[in-house]
Structure 1
Amino acid sequence: MTKRYKVWVSRPLFAEALARLDQHVTLVAEATERQHSPAQLRERLADVDAAIIGLSDRVDAATLAGNERLRVIANLAVGYNNLDIDALTRAGVLACNTPDVLNETTADYAWALLLAAARRVGAAERWLRSGQWTGTMRIDDWLGVDLHGRTLGILGMGRIGQAVARRAGGFDMRVLYHNRHRLPEVTERQCAARWVDQPTLLAESDHLVLALPYTPGNHHIIGAAELARMKRGSVLVNIARGGLVDEAALAAALAAGQLAAAGLDVYEDEPVVHPALLALDQVVLSPHLGSASADTRRNMAHLAVDNVLAGLGLGSAAGDPPTPINPQLLHARPAPGKA
């Protein structure tokens, strides 16, 4: 008889995804959204074979200390800077994430932020809702920044960055990008994008979208010096990770008019937003909604379930989880035990 594994889901999840887990494992699922303390997280993970967690759940060496049961962690996100992958690998815990299923939805949202920031949608709506529109406006009221015919810069040209670039053709925009490694020529043609170095990207972009992963080496990759190199009156959008941007420096650049506007979906100390940004009308702020469409969030949940089941040796893809972060463990550890 196959062992009945126990799985913890750290946050509310779609009922159909939970039902798939429930067919195979003993399921413990949180019914309400909550912040788990390090001690609570350690206690929960010590009692299960696998878990589906969110970005607010930090799993590191201290969390795993003494844990001899945990086999799989499925992160309900593409990014995984909440996971200490080295510590997980040393502990023999397979880590997985949910890439690709959210590329197009996140790229859509990048354009939503870009348009809203450039055309001052948020501030204008607040002005209207407060009853200040009397029926007449000056010809120079609420002037924004055009997108059509301008230059779009993309810092980080992975799958999401490429999806952002492909949408630029509809606005007749020139697309520049910077990556550590240049894309193959065929991909550049598909995206109608040209590689440049980072200083050129900053200097020539009218609109700059950040779509690169966060690493310690990328911390504040956009700081005061980089903002000063950007075109005066340009627009910055960050759909990646908050730690990429020095938020105090960004607020100062916006207040000084160096940048015309910014659209932010991510923040360095989420859910806290830098107070200087909150005070500025030329910033569009949203609470980490890049993947938040009904279809995409469901697809992310099902991919996390696929990873857990396969990582535990269950289901049709047993032993072959679709998106492992440390796949070397798949060949190094013994097969799931039998009872």
Structure 2
Amino acid sequence: MKKRVFLTRTLQDFALKILKEKYQVEIHSGKIPIPVTKLRSKIKEIEGLICFPYDIINKETIECAKNLKVISTYSVGFDHIDTKYAKKKKIRVGYTPEVLTDATADLAFSLLLDISRRISEGDRIIREGKWKEIFGASDYVGIDLQGKTIGILGLGRIGGTLAKRAKAFDMKILYHNRKHVSKSKENALNAKYVSFEKLVSQSDFISIHVPHTKETNHLFNMEIFKKMKKSAFLINTSRGKVVNEKDLTIALRKKIISGAGLDVFESEPIKKNHPLTKLQNIVLAPHIGSSTKETRIKMAEITVKNLILGMNQKKPTYSVGY
């Protein structure tokens, strides 16, 4: 009898075909994310789980598993999974880093370009019939990127790739990590390590590339916004809860900072009446950092491969812990 695999949401046809050839596959087709009660009920019966970044796989959920061998998440992040408890229970965890690096870095830089040149704002002006005459010398101006300073919080795969984009636009690059990257990487990117305080106070653009942890929860709040330049912009393509949205809304409304570009939010999806949607000096994207055809195919390939390896008691290609 085939081993059982459960998906909290469907994948591409080619990925499902591979899975169905090997396993008894069940796919959740109801409300997204899957209700916790249903997930805990299903996890009792299965050997393999494919989940997504909005599925909370905590200790209580893992505790329900009887024969679970592997959790394979379709995401670069794994903070939604209690990996320590999974390891204790000898459940392997796989994830999908690297393949979405370029796509996410591209989106971060797209948000930066959009907010600095006011592209989406201009699109709204035209669609709402508010473009009444050709703009004059001082009307509707954006800002140049050349010579501006970008502060990258987290110079890992995505942050480092973003730095390459910024370098091509002749931007000055500052970064802050828990520790310095290698001198060779700094030199290649022309990036300078600074303290978090200096990154906040000296950057014209700040791009966030850190996971959501207890330490980074609401890291960007009113206290930090007040330390930023009034002309500065915040870009976030990492995790929504790193930014205090209530404080950001006030900071944008009162022009404490100039603008922001967000692909992630504290609770998703956000509604059309969310306070951030009422502001003009922000660009909002619906969590599409990895959303290119090529990237999503690669993610599915790795997700399936990680699952198969884990089902065979082998370490996933990209593994967390056990």
Q: 1:133 to 1:321 in 2, by over 3 A?
A: same
Partner of 1:283: 282
Partner of 1:309: 308
- State which of 238, 244, 247 in structure 1 corresponds to 2:245: 247
| Aligned equivalents of 1:33, 1:170: Cα separation in 2 | 43
- State which of 206, 210, 213 in structure 1 corresponds to 2:211: 213
- Indicate the SS of the match to 1:167: helix
Is the contact between residue 41 and residue 57 of structure 1 (CA under 8 Å) also seen in structure 2?
Answer: no
Q: Alpha-carbon deviation of 1:137?
A: 2.3
- State which of 315, 318, 321 in structure 2 corresponds to 1:320: 315
| Aligned equivalents of 1:227, 1:104: Cα separation in 2 | 28
Following superposition of structure 1 onto structure 2, how do residues 222-301 of structure 1 map, counting pairs within 5 Å? Answer: 222-272=220-270, 275-301=274-300
Is the contact between residue 12 and residue 32 of structure 1 (CA under 8 Å) also seen in structure 2?
Answer: no
Q: Which amino acid aligns with 1:82?
A: H
Q: Alpha-carbon deviation of 1:242?
A: 0.7
Q: Which amino acid aligns with 2:304?
A: V
Q: TM-score, normalised by structure 2?
A: 0.95
Q: Which runs of 5+ in 2 are unaligned?
A: none
- Indicate the SS of the match to 1:153: strand
Partner of 1:336: none
Pair 1:80 & 2:78 matched: yes
- State which of 166, 172, 178 in structure 1 corresponds to 2:164: 166
Q: Which amino acid aligns with 1:174?
A: K
> Share of identical aligned residues, percent?
32
Q: Could you report, residue by residue, the CA deviation over 1:239-266 in whole angstroms, capped at 9, with x for unpaired residues?
A: 1001111111111111121211100001
Is the contact between residue 237 and residue 264 of structure 1 (CA under 8 Å) also seen in structure 2?
Answer: yes
Q: Which amino acid aligns with 1:269?
A: S
Q: Could you report, residue by residue, the CA deviation over 1:169-188 in whole angstroms, capped at 9, with x for unpaired residues?
A: 22111100000100010111
Q: TM-score, normalised by structure 1?
A: 0.91
| Aligned equivalents of 1:270, 1:225: Cα separation in 2 | 25
Following superposition of structure 1 onto structure 2, how do residues 1-339 of structure 1 map, counting pairs within 5 Å? Answer: 4-31=2-29, 34-272=32-270, 275-313=274-312, 319-327=314-322
Q: Alpha-carbon deviation of 1:32?
A: 6.3
Q: Could you report, residue by residue, the CA deviation over 1:60-111 in whole angstroms, capped at 9, with x for unpaired residues?
A: 1221234211111111111122111222222221111111110011000101
Q: Which runs of 5+ in 1 are unaligned?
A: 328-339
Is the contact between residue 97 and residue 325 of structure 1 (CA under 8 Å) also seen in structure 2?
Answer: yes
| Aligned equivalents of 2:144, 2:255: Cα separation in 1 | 17
| Aligned equivalents of 1:32, 1:191: Cα separation in 2 | 45
Q: Alpha-carbon deviation of 1:31?
A: 4.9
Q: Which amino acid aligns with 2:261?
A: G
Q: Which amino acid aligns with 2:237?
A: I
| Aligned equivalents of 1:210, 1:324: Cα separation in 2 | 24
| Aligned equivalents of 1:56, 1:200: Cα separation in 2 | 33
Is the contact between residue 43 and residue 64 of structure 2 (CA under 8 Å) also seen in structure 1?
Answer: no
- Indicate the SS of the match to 1:302: helix
CA RMSD of aligned residues (A): 1.6
Range with greater deviation from structure 2 (55-64 or 198-207): 55-64
Is the contact between residue 118 and residue 260 of structure 1 (CA under 8 Å) also seen in structure 2?
Answer: no
Is the contact between residue 149 and residue 172 of structure 1 (CA under 8 Å) also seen in structure 2?
Answer: yes
Q: Alpha-carbon deviation of 1:28?
A: 1.6
| Aligned equivalents of 1:169, 1:56: Cα separation in 2 | 33
Is the contact between residue 178 and residue 196 of structure 1 (CA under 8 Å) also seen in structure 2?
Answer: yes
- Indicate the SS of the match to 2:320: coil
Runs of 4 or more, structure 1, over 3 Å off, are: 30-33
| Aligned equivalents of 1:182, 1:69: Cα separation in 2 | 42
Is the contact between residue 93 and residue 316 of structure 2 (CA under 8 Å) also seen in structure 1?
Answer: no
| Aligned equivalents of 1:40, 1:126: Cα separation in 2 | 41
Q: Which amino acid aligns with 1:133?
A: W
| Aligned equivalents of 2:103, 2:40: Cα separation in 1 | 33
| Aligned equivalents of 2:19, 2:31: Cα separation in 1 | 19
| Aligned equivalents of 2:157, 2:226: Cα separation in 1 | 28
| Aligned equivalents of 1:148, 1:251: Cα separation in 2 | 28
Is the contact between residue 260 and residue 281 of structure 2 (CA under 8 Å) also seen in structure 1?
Answer: yes
